[in-house]
């Protein structure tokens, strides 16, 4: 994918540059070598219609970009500064909007940004996970939109996608998003910006989650780990809240760890919060390991976690606003200088596959528009241009039932780390591939392309590099029919088009069906 002009201008600020944050080992640093600790607040109104990590695709935008309205930012950013905030987290920004005014105001108040890359309708769905061109285009557009601002620390590739032991396969797709987002930044940006993940605090998988996203090649692993934790409620202690256990667990982690969300509202709701945990978070007992945290959340909503009530254009500070302000302003964490700091942490080992964990180290392939386009040119049986997307699921289900080898190219088996070559293409391209594969495996008879919504066409001439890459992908897809264990990485071409992430998938238990593929379409 080509970098946009915006990303090419990364590092050119719209105002006097704030010093950009960098990372060394498990710490964040200012350019002068002083350690940076987040004193953060989550800054975004709640999504309409529910959790963004389980939303299906709809037709209307279900979020409001918090950094695209100058008037709103002029009202809210001084309040954030009053709290002692030096970092905000945004959950969904519109990459087509103009953020100059709000980002300038944030710079004027010395506030950094960490932003999620997804949005409610374009995110990795824990129930029907995918990592494909549609998602990749969204993620890279957000990177393009935000990279020119020096006060952007980095991005989250996912938020609580795998949130219990039943949906851990989805983490493979998020880690693939981490890998490809990091590669995009490395190729196109002039400065470091991190890509991390924000996890919930589920006892059954929290260790496996932290290990999985940190294990393996550094090009694939997270740059920082965000932890959404609400275990310290009211008056508590390091031991009683479990904070001491977290310090012990992460003490040898090799990338920065911080609370991506915190601020329990039990037992008395938002107004009962005293933020005793904030004092603990910036104490010596925690700052050797944790790099601060982000309080959830600025806006008072139905979930009752707010610091500020919004009534029309008016913002009113709540009681717990003062409680947080008191704790943050007195917090004075003592860090280490960058020159004196000698990182000692090591990457974790990948978790074993078992009852509680079903995502292997092998990842889904990187989205590759050129390969998908090459494949589409080679098809003799394809989808009719009039076919409604709502019909995709039925067609997928009819053809791919009973582990049909025609579907091997889009199959997935996360517990083995095996994936077909074309699972990263857009849904219409995947369906076209399946139709053509079925047609060719059934003798190219007219009946084999007689599905409702399918049509015969004359394949375009494909040669050279394009054919070479299709042949390599087909070799991978042939392995799908017989593999019963992890398959060694293969390549779909040469040079910059290499895709070593593509792997085969076993014929038994292909993760394809009417519900899964329909979900993949509508979760984009």
Show which residues are catalytic: 160, 261
Buried b (16+ CB within 10 A) or exposed e, 279-317: ebbbeeebbebbbbbbbbbbbbeeeebbbbebeeeebee
In the chain, the largest separation of any two C-alpha atoms, in whole Å, equals 76
Q: Which of 325, 338, 371 is nearest to 83 (CA)?
A: 325
Separation CA 126–CA 137 (nearest Å): 19
Which own/partner pairs from 242-249 qualify as long-range (CB within 8 Å, at least 24 positions apart)?
243/277, 243/280, 243/286, 244/285, 246/290, 247/285, 247/286, 247/288, 247/289, 247/290, 249/207, 249/210
DSSP 8: H
Using H for helix, E for strand and C for coil, what is the string for 163-182?
A: CCCCCCCHHHHHHHHHHHHH
Token output for 66: 């918090």
Return all residues near 240 (Cβ < 8 A) that are at least 6 apart: none
Cα 146 to Cα 436, 480, 514: the distances in Å are: 40, 39, 37
Classify 402 in phi/psi space as left (phi over 0), alpha (psi -120 to 50) or beta.
left
Chain centroid to Cα 316, Å, comes to 33
Separation CA 433–CA 134 (nearest Å): 17
Token output for 195: 């890509």
Q: Quick check: bond before 257 cis, omega within 30?
A: no
Token output for 67: 């950094």
Please say whether the beta carbons of 80 and 41 come within 8 A. Answer: yes
Chain centroid to Cα 461, Å, comes to 38
Give the end-to-end CA distance of the chain in Å, rounded to a whole number.
19
Please say whether the beta carbons of 193 and 185 come within 8 A. Answer: yes
Please say whether the beta carbons of 81 and 43 come within 8 A. Answer: no
């Amino acid at each position: 994918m080509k970098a946009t002009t915006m990303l090419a201008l990364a590092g050119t600020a719209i105002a006097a540059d704030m010093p950009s944050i960098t990372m060394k080992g498990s710490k964040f640093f200012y350019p002068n070598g002083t350690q940076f600790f987040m004193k953060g607040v989550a800054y975004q109104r709640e999504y309409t219609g529910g959790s963004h990590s389980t939303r299906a695709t709809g037709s209307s935008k279900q979020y409001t970009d918090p950094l695209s309205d100058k008037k709103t930012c002029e009202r809210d950013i001084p309040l954030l500064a009053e709290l002692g905030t030096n970092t905000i987290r945004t959950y969904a920004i519109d990459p087509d909007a103009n953020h100059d005014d709000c980002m300038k105001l944030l710079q004027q108040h010395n506030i950094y940004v960490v932003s999620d890359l997804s949005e409610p309708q374009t995110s990795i769905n824990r129930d029907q996970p995918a990592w494909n061109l549609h998602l990749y285009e969204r993620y890279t557009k957000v990177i393009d939109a935000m990279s020119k601002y020096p006060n952007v620390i980095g991005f989250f590739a996912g938020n609580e996608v795998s949130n219990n032991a039943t949906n851990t396969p989805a983490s493979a797709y998020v880690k693939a998003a981490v890998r490809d987002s990091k590669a995009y930044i490395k190729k196109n940006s002039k400065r470091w910006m991190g890509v991390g993940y924000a996890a919930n605090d589920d006892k059954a998988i929290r260790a496996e989650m932290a290990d999985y996203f940190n294990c393996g090649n550094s090009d694939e692993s997270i740059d920082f780990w965000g932890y959404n934790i609400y275990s310290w409620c009211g008056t508590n202690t390091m031991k009683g809240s479990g904070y001491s256990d977290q310090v012990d667990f992460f003490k040898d982690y090799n990338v920065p760890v911080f609370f991506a969300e915190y601020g329990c509202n039990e037992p008395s709701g938002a107004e009962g919060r005293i933020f005793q945990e904030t004092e603990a978070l910036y104490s010596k007992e925690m700052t050797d390991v944790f790099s601060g945290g982000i309080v959830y959340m600025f806006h008072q909503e139905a979930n009752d976690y707010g610091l500020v009530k919004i009534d029309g254009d008016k913002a009113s500070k709540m009681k717990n606003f003062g409680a947080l302000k008191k704790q943050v302003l007195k917090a004075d964490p003592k860090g280490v200088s960058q020159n004196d700091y000698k990182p000692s942490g090591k990457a974790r080992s990948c978790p074993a596959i078992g009852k509680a964990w079903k995502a292997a180290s092998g990842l889904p392939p990187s989205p590759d528009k050129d390969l998908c386009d090459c494949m589409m040119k080679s098809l003799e049986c394809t989808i009719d241009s009039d076919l409604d997307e709502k019909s995709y699921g039925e067609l997928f289900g009819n053809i791919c039932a009973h582990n049909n080898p025609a579907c091997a190219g889009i199959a997935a088996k996360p517990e083995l780390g095996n994936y077909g070559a074309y699972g990263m293409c857009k849904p219409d391209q995947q369906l076209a591939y399946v139709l053509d594969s079925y047609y060719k495996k059934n003798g190219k008879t007219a009946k084999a392309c007689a599905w409702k919504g399918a049509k015969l066409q004359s394949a375009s001439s494909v040669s050279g590099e394009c054919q070479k890459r299709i042949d390599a992908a087909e070799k991978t897809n042939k392995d799908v029919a017989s593999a019963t264990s992890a398959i060694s990485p293969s390549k779909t071409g040469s040079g910059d088009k290499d895709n070593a992430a593509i792997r085969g998938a076993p014929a038994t238990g292909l993760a394809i069906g009417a519900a899964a593929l329909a979900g993949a379409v509508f979760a984009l």
